Structure 1
Amino acid sequence: MLKQQIQTDMKAAMKAGEKDKLGVIRLIMAAIKQREVDERIELDDAQVLAVLDKMVKQRRDSITQYDDAGRTDLADVERFEVGVIQGYLPEALSEAEISALIEAAVAETGASAVRDMGKVMGVLRPKVQGRADMGAVSALVKQRLGG
């Protein structure tokens, strides 16, 4: 399981004295633990991927804000964290793969207009979570449905 892999990497980072990486891994574990406590469940790999995906999105937003404010030092810290977090995410999907998944989801749901977007996203989310930016996928679905 992904959670055990993260814990194993945390121990390895401790032994190797990689303080920066260890800090990011501890942030990941804290986010996972927080969600488990809040929802009183044990997260499976798909749910852990959702947590990681959210963490990457938050950091990308921060990078944009820091770059706009001229704070490259803080943006670099966020970029490092994104790199560590992305190490646990599956390989990103190509544009062609995303388009094919959208077409399949539209066909599967029988979607014909923007009002059907929720159905299409419901089918797509588990297939692309952690492998593509959900905001970009959502925009592509909306475009495909004529929105």
Structure 2
Amino acid sequence: MDLQKQLTEDMKKAMKNKEKQRLLVIRSVKSAIQNEQIKQGKELTEDEALTVLNREMKQRKESLQEFENANREDLVSKVKAEMDVLQSYLPEQLSDEALQQIVDETIQEVGAKTKADMGKVMGAIMPKVKGKADGSQVNRAVLNSLS
């Protein structure tokens, strides 16, 4: 089932089960996807919808960091709960070993030797791991392999 249909079905279930937090997050994601559709003027592909979902997750990770720095435990727990809901819609994340294998293969493919080749490697690797690994995690793995 595609992401948008899944979100609609889960929204209905959350309403019936009176799961306010889950419903709030699902509505937020659906709204972000609809805003992106309006912005692009067309229906989003599955990959584009996944990109929106990743953006929502990244925003929450950044908020979590800020709330932890400010010692706002009430908001930290709320954001963590939202992230758990979002995580259920994202593809399974790659393990560090699987990511490292993809990084090594990509470095071989593009013939990268130094950190100066970082842009070529990142450009080639990100489509392969889209939605399955965080960009900063990929960046660290590439930097470690090129140094």
The TM-score normalised by the length of structure 2 is: 0.91
Q: Is 1:140 the counterpart of 2:147 in the alignment?
A: no
Query: Counterpart of 1:6?
Result: 7
Query: Counterpart of 1:61?
Result: 62
Aligned with 2:112: secondary structure? Answer: coil
Structure 1 unaligned blocks of 5 or more: none
Q: Is 1:38 the counterpart of 2:39 in the alignment?
A: yes
Aligned 8 A contact 1:46 1:126 in 2 = no
Aligned with 2:48: secondary structure? Answer: helix
- For the residues of structure 1 that align with 2:109 and 2:4, how far apart are their CA atoms? 32
Structure 2 unaligned blocks of 5 or more: none
Aligned 8 A contact 1:111 1:120 in 2 = yes
- For the residues of structure 2 that align with 1:114 and 1:17, how far apart are their CA atoms? 51
Render the CA deviation track for 1:79-110: whole Å, top value 9, x for unaligned: 01100000001111111000000011111212
What displacement does 1:47 show? 1.6
Moved over 6 A (4+): none
RMSD of equivalent CA atoms: 1.4
Number of positions where the alignment pairs a residue of Structure 1 with one of Structure 2? 146
The TM-score normalised by the length of structure 1 is: 0.91
Aligned 8 A contact 1:13 1:21 in 2 = yes
Aligned 8 A contact 1:49 1:89 in 2 = yes
Counting only pairs closer than 5 Å after superposition, residues 99-138 of structure 1 correspond to structure 2 as 99-138=100-139
